[in-house]
């Protein structure tokens, strides 16, 4: 990207935007004093403080270097299992999110028309009173369910959930249906757990990645694991229509035809079952439904899959053999953002079953998510009121197997627009950017038009905030406490390393304030943030001081799992369900079944999306440090295709789908299938409050068509077909 953001260094930038801080430096700030008490900071406010990254959901451990009350460098915490001393580029750049000159540092109330971006600053008193009054007014007029709440996974989410469930609304939107619903539901249906662990031990020999671009969509420790496994000589087979950086490190890259991964995996099952390559004793002991599976996959021969996937039958067959041979030291990775096609659920089931069939112990036996495990305490709170209203997102009345806390976000949005089964009137959004992250941006904005009141809690004027009525500025992750989080046998802390700038406040504080104003203060029984953390630690006997000093503490009873554990699956049958009764009962195929994905017309392309290492979703493009090292976002197109269309590198093109049209520049590359185009998500922002990011690139969300996988509720992000022409 050639645009020069600013000549000034970012420390100065931060200082320029935060006059208050300079004055605050006269007295040791509160946080600095607390850290000083701990020996983490000296009298001048210099030192190192341990905390946790929040640039993405992986939450690596950090050690923040603080000089005179300003954070100047973040390093990975070597003791943290997610960072091991390393940080990805986003983690490295985190302090620039905090010192972003575009930070919102005081509550804002809309003063112009929606979307005009005219706001006036307000006090927290005024803003919170206004929010509470509006919400209560909506409840009074239309019932609590007319308030929609949505938030993307974060550490204060339990308190956010308190807010809505205690208030009485069933309408909870999370990012999950845009992200990993297919994977989560498939694992739940098969193993009774959301996400099995993936252990990259020394013995791991074979890794099958289906669209998991682990070397760009980074999770620091797992990315490290993968590279080290490759270093040790593990074979990596990678399916992706694009030649990503992961593809470049894989032993074998298979440019599969989008949506047809299912055919590939069904054919693997066919070979493994048909040629008796599976682990018979494991299957007999631990699974049910093998016969149903065998009957179904019988027809999915490699020869059948070859034309669908574009992968030769011999290759498929060979991979099946290699995979089975490498088992149990093999891993078929589910992927993470598995929201690709309406058949993605079946793909996920097939992958999950693949691991079970060959008895990949390291994969199927351990739960990956330990974050919400109940080893910690919590403030006491009353039971939630019973909520009788239907959920707007169709769970479970339309999506019977989608878990409640997962939901179907895009459907929620659609039903705000349709007013069916009832009309929503307000939306509280925290730590989320649905204007960008939901498909069909035009429709999301239409949903906004239907609403009387929208409030957003964020740290910058993201696109959603831009269209909101009230914006509540949260303290950034370097400025606040969040609830403690246990990972494995340790518990980790996020603690402020600098004073919050301006008027920014922690979510723990904001939710409590709102709770009290909404008459549900009982659900927020903590005096302040530290008190909340102390109540969490109460059952463990660990002191807050200890954990603050080190950044983490060992939990006395480590939740353990592993081969020794008595095999007991949290499914209705207590076994791994190759055939799922649950699915069958609600009318879905009980075993993975071929479902033809739709195909683009002659002149259309699959529009692919996928992360780049230098940004997270839709919220970090304004980070100047990341912007500095980002490539210009352009529409990827295969060189041959471009030649046929008479398009050249850097040409401006018009990309059109059935719901929208965008203009962007072309990147002609060898690194993509000829029938696909690709766009980096997170550009084409609408908010002019993002001075660095505004005006760069285009938004794939503006052309994404909304399709929902009927089983998992996952959005089908690769199922949008577009035409491309020169402008």
Partner 1 sequence: MKLNLTIQPRFRLNFSPLVWVLLILMGIAFVTAMIRYIFGIGAISDLSYSYPWGFWISFDLFTGVVISSGGFLMAGSVYILGIKEFQPLLRPSVLTAFLGYIMVAIALLVDLGHPERIWYMMIHWNGTSVLLEIGICVMSYLTVLAIEFAPVAFEGFKLQKWAHLIHKYIMPFVILGVVLSTLHQSSLGSLLLIQPAKLHPLWWTPVLPIMFFTSAISVGLAMIILESSLSSRYFQRGLETHLLEKLAKAIPVVLAIYLVLKFGELAFAGDLHYLFTSGGFSILFWAEILIGAVAPIIWFSVRGNRKSANGLLAGAIILLLGMILNRFNVSWFAVRHPDPMFYMPAFMSNVHYMPTLPEISVSLGIFAAGILAFGLAAKYLPVFEEEHDPKAPSFGD
Partner 2 sequence: MTEIKHHAYLFDATRCIDCRACMVACSVENNIEMDKTRIWVAGVGIKGEYPELQRGTMVYHCMHCDHPDCMSACPVGAYTKAEDGPVTYNPDLCIGCRYCMNACPFGVPHFDYDKGIIEGAFIDKCTFCPQRIYNGQEPACVQTCPTDALEYGDREELIARAHARIADHPGRYIDHVYGEKENGGTSYLIISHIPFGELGLPNLPATPVNEVSEKVMEITIPFALGWGAILTGVAAGVNLYNKKKEKTAVEEKAEKSK
Name the site residues for ligand MGD (rule: CB under 6 A): 54, 56-57, 90, 152, 175, 178-180, 210-213, 217-219, 239-242, 244, 256, 258-259, 261, 335-337, 340-341, 430-434, 437, 457-460, 462, 474, 476-477, 608-611, 613, 615-619, 681, 700-701, 704, 717-718
Site for partner 1 contains 8 (CB under 8 A): no
The Cα 235–Cα 647 span in angstroms is 37
CB of 575 to ligand MGD, least distance (A): 28
Which residue has tokens 């490539």?
A: 631
| 683: its two tokens | 């550009």
Site for ligand SF4 contains 95 (CB under 6 A): no
| 543: its two tokens | 């002191």
Q: Please identify, using beta-carbon distances, which residue of 534 and 628 lies nearer to partner 1.
A: 628
| 88: its two tokens | 């990805």
Q: Long-range CB contacts (< 8 A, 24+ apart) of 367-374?
A: 367/193, 367/194, 367/195, 367/196, 367/197, 367/561, 368/194, 368/195, 368/196, 368/197, 368/198, 369/193, 369/194, 369/195, 370/486, 370/487, 370/488, 370/559, 371/485, 371/486, 371/487, 373/486, 373/559
CB of 639 to ligand SF4, least distance (A): 25
Q: Please identify, using beta-carbon distances, which residue of 7 and 113 lies nearer to partner 1.
A: 7
Site for partner 2 contains 245 (CB under 8 A): yes
CB of 188 to partner 2, least distance (A): 30
Closest CA to 160 of 655, 506, 661: 506
| 269: its two tokens | 């099952």
**Which among Mo ion, partner 1, ligand SF4, none contacts residue 3 (Cβ within 5 to 8 A by kind)?**
partner 1
CB of 71 to partner 2, least distance (A): 10
- How many residues in the shown chain lie near ligand SF4 by CB under 6 A? 14
Site for ligand SF4 contains 88 (CB under 6 A): yes
Site for partner 1 contains 388 (CB under 8 A): no
Q: What is the DSSP pairing of strand 330-333 with strand 47-52?
A: unpaired
Site for ligand SF4 contains 53 (CB under 6 A): yes
Site for partner 1 contains 6 (CB under 8 A): no
Q: Please identify, using beta-carbon distances, which residue of 214 and 277 lies nearer to ligand SF4.
A: 214
Site for ligand SF4 contains 272 (CB under 6 A): no
**Which among partner 2, partner 1, ligand MGD, none contacts residue 403 (Cβ within 5 to 8 A by kind)?**
none
Q: Which residue is nearest to ligand SF4 (CB)?
A: 91
| 616: its two tokens | 């997270």
CB of 223 to ligand SF4, least distance (A): 8
Residue 167 near residue 518, CB atoms below 8 Å:
yes
Other Cβ atoms less than 10 A from the Cβ of 570: the count is 10
**Which among ligand SF4, ligand MGD, partner 2, none contacts residue 609 (Cβ within 5 to 8 A by kind)?**
ligand MGD
CB of 175 to Mo ion, least distance (A): 6
Site for partner 2 contains 662 (CB under 8 A): no
Closest CA to 529 of 513, 550, 506: 506
Q: Mask of contacts with partner 2, 78-117, x by CB under 8 A?
A: -------xxxxx-xxx-xx---------------------
Q: CB neighbours of 382 closer than 8 A, spacing ≥ 6?
A: 166, 522, 523
CB of 252 to ligand MGD, least distance (A): 13
CB of 49 to ligand MGD, least distance (A): 17
CB of 672 to Mo ion, least distance (A): 22
Query: Considering only 466-474, 501-509, 588-596, 624-632, which stretch makes contact with partner 1 by CB under 8 A?
Result: 624-632
The Cα 198–Cα 423 span in angstroms is 43
The Cα 460–Cα 14 span in angstroms is 14
Closest CA to 709 of 184, 174, 211: 184
* DSSP per-residue letters across 221-287: HHHHHHHHHHHHT-EEEEE-SB--HHHHHSSEEE-PPTT-HHHHHHHHHHHHHHTT-S-HHHHHHHE
Q: Which residues pair with 121 in a beta bridge?
A: 108
**Which among Mo ion, ligand SF4, partner 2, none contacts residue 59 (Cβ within 5 to 8 A by kind)?**
ligand SF4
Residue from 125, 275, 528, 631 in contact with partner 1 (CB under 8 A): 631
Q: 48 phi and psi, to 5 degrees?
A: -125, 130
The Cα 711–Cα 399 span in angstroms is 6
Residue 150 near residue 432, CB atoms below 8 Å:
yes
Q: Mask of contacts with ligand SF4, 186-225, x by CB under 6 A?
A: --------------------------------xxx-----
Other Cβ atoms less than 10 A from the Cβ of 103: the count is 22
Q: Mask of contacts with partner 2, 169-208, x by CB under 8 A?
A: ----------------------------------------
CB of 531 to partner 1, least distance (A): 46
CB of 595 to partner 2, least distance (A): 26
The Cα 429–Cα 451 span in angstroms is 13
| 151: its two tokens | 């938030």
**Which among ligand SF4, Mo ion, partner 2, none contacts residue 58 (Cβ within 5 to 8 A by kind)?**
ligand SF4
Site for partner 2 contains 315 (CB under 8 A): no
CA angle (502, 508, 512) in 5-degree steps: 105
* DSSP per-residue letters across 501-524: PTT-B-HHHHHHHHHHHTT-GGG-
Kindly state the helix (H) or strand (E) to which residue 584 belongs, with its residue range: helix 581-585
CB of 420 to partner 2, least distance (A): 45
CB of 612 to partner 1, least distance (A): 12
Residues numbered 397 to 416 that lie near ligand SF4 (CB under 6 A) are none
Collapsing DSSP to helix, strand or coil, 426 comes out as strand
Site for partner 1 contains 628 (CB under 8 A): yes
**Which among ligand SF4, ligand MGD, partner 2, none contacts residue 625 (Cβ within 5 to 8 A by kind)?**
partner 2
The Cα 370–Cα 485 span in angstroms is 9
Q: Please identify, using beta-carbon distances, which residue of 175 and 712 lies nearer to ligand SF4.
A: 175
Q: Please identify, using beta-carbon distances, which residue of 318 and 450 lies nearer to partner 2.
A: 318
Residue from 98, 348, 638, 718 in contact with partner 2 (CB under 8 A): 638
The Cα 407–Cα 176 span in angstroms is 7
Residues numbered 164 to 193 that lie near Mo ion (CB under 5 A) are 179
Q: Please identify, using beta-carbon distances, which residue of 2 and 564 lies nearer to partner 1.
A: 2
- How many residues in the shown chain lie near Mo ion by CB under 5 A? 2
Residue 112 near residue 493, CB atoms below 8 Å:
no
CA angle (9, 39, 484) in 5-degree steps: 80
Site for ligand SF4 contains 91 (CB under 6 A): yes
Q: Please identify, using beta-carbon distances, which residue of 416 and 613 lies nearer to partner 2.
A: 613
Site for partner 2 contains 284 (CB under 8 A): no
Q: 254 phi and psi, to 5 degrees?
A: -115, 105
Contacting positions for partner 1 (CB under 8 A): 1-4, 628-629, 631
Contacting positions for ligand SF4 (CB under 6 A): 53, 55-56, 58-60, 83, 87-88, 90-91, 218-220
Contacting positions for partner 2 (CB under 8 A): 4-11, 72-76, 85-89, 91-93, 95-96, 215-216, 218, 220, 223-224, 227-228, 231, 233, 243, 245, 247-249, 253, 255, 613-614, 624-626, 628-629, 638-640, 669-674
């Amino acid at each position: 990207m050639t645009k020069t953001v600013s000549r000034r260094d970012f420390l100065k930038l931060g200082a320029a935007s935060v006059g208050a801080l300079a004055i605050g430096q006269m007295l040791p700030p509160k946080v600095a004093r607390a850290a000083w008490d701990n020996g983490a900071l000296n009298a001048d406010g210099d030192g190192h403080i341990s905390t946790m990254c929040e640039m993405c959901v992986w939450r690596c451990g950090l050690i923040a270097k603080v000089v005179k009350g300003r954070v100047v460098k973040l390093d990975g915490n070597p003791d943290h299992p997610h960072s091991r001393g390393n940080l990805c580029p986003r983690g490295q750049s985190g302090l620039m999110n905090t010192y972003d000159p575009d930070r919102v540092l005081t509550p804002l109330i809309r003063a112009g028309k929606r979307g005009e971006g005219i706001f006036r600053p307000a006090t927290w008193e005024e803003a919170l009173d206004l929010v509470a009054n509006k919400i209560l007014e909506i409840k009074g007029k239309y019932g609590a369910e007319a308030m929609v709440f949505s938030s993307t996974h974060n550490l204060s989410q339990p308190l956010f959930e308190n807010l809505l469930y205690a208030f009485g609304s069933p309408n909870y939107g999370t990012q999950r249906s845009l992200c990993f619903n297919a994977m989560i539901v498939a694992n739940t249906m098969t193993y009774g757990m959301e996400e099995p662990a993936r252990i990259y031990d020394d013995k791991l020999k074979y890794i099958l990645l289906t669209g998991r671009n682990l070397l760009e969509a980074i999770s620091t420790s797992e990315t490290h694991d993968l590279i080290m496994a490759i270093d040790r000589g593990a074979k990596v087979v990678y399916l992706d229509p694009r030649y990503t950086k992961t593809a470049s490190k894989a032993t074998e890259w298979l440019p599969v035809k989008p949506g047809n991964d299912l055919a590939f995996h069904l054919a693997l099952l066919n070979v493994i079952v048909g040629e008796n390559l599976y682990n018979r004793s494991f299957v007999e002991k631990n699974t049910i439904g093998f016969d149903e599976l065998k009957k179904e996959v019988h027809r999915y021969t490699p020869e059948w899959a070859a034309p669908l996937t574009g992968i030769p039958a011999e290759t498929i067959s060979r991979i099946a053999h290699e995979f089975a041979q490498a088992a149990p030291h093999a891993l078929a990775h589910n992927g993470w953002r598995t929201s690709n096609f309406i058949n993605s659920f079946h793909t996920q089931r097939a992958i999950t079953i693949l691991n079970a069939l060959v008895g990949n112990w390291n994969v199927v036996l351990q739960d990956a998510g330990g974050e919400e495990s109940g080893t910690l305490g919590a403030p006491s709170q009353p039971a939630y009121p019973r909520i009788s209203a239907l959920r707007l997102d169709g769970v479970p009345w339309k999506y019977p197997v989608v878990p409640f806390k997962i939901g179907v976000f895009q459907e929620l949005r659609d039903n705000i627009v349709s007013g069916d089964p009832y009309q929503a009137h307000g939306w509280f959004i925290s730590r989320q950017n649905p204007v960008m992250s939901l498909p069909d941006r035009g429709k999301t904005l239409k949903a906004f038009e239907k609403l009387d009141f929208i409030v957003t809690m964020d740290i910058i004027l993201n696109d959603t905030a831009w269209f909101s009525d009230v914006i509540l500025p949260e303290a950034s992750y370097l400025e606040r406490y969040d609830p403690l989080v246990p990972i494995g046998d340790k518990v980790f802390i996020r603690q402020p390393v600098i004073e919050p700038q301006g008027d920014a406040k922690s979510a723990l504080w904001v939710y409590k304030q709102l709770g009290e104003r909404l008459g549900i203060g009982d659900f927020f029984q903590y005096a302040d943030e530290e008190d909340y953390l102390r109540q969490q630690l109460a059952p463990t006997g660990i002191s807050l001081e200890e954990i603050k000093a080190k950044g983490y503490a060992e939990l006395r009873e480590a939740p353990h799992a592993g081969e020794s554990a008595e095999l007991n699956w949290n499914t209705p049958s207590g076994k791994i369900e190759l055939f799922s009764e649950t699915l069958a009962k609600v009318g879905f195929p009980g075993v993975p079944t071929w479902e033809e994905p739709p195909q683009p017309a002659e002149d259309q392309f699959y529009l692919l999306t996928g992360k780049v290492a230098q940004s997270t979703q839709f919220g970090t493009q304004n980070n100047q440090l990341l912007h500095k090292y980002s490539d210009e976002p352009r529409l990827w197109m295969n060189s041959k295709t471009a030649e046929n269309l008479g398009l050249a590198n850097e040409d401006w093109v018009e990309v059109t789908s059935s719901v929208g049209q965008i203009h962007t520049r072309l990147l002609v590359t060898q690194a993509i299938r000829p029938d696909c185009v690709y766009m980096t998500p997170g550009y084409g922002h609408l908010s002019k409050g993002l001075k660095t990011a505004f005006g760069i690139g285009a938004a794939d969300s503006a052309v994404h068509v909304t399709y929902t996988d009927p089983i998992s509720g996952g959005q089908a992000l690769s199922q949008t077909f577009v035409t491309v022409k020169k402008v």
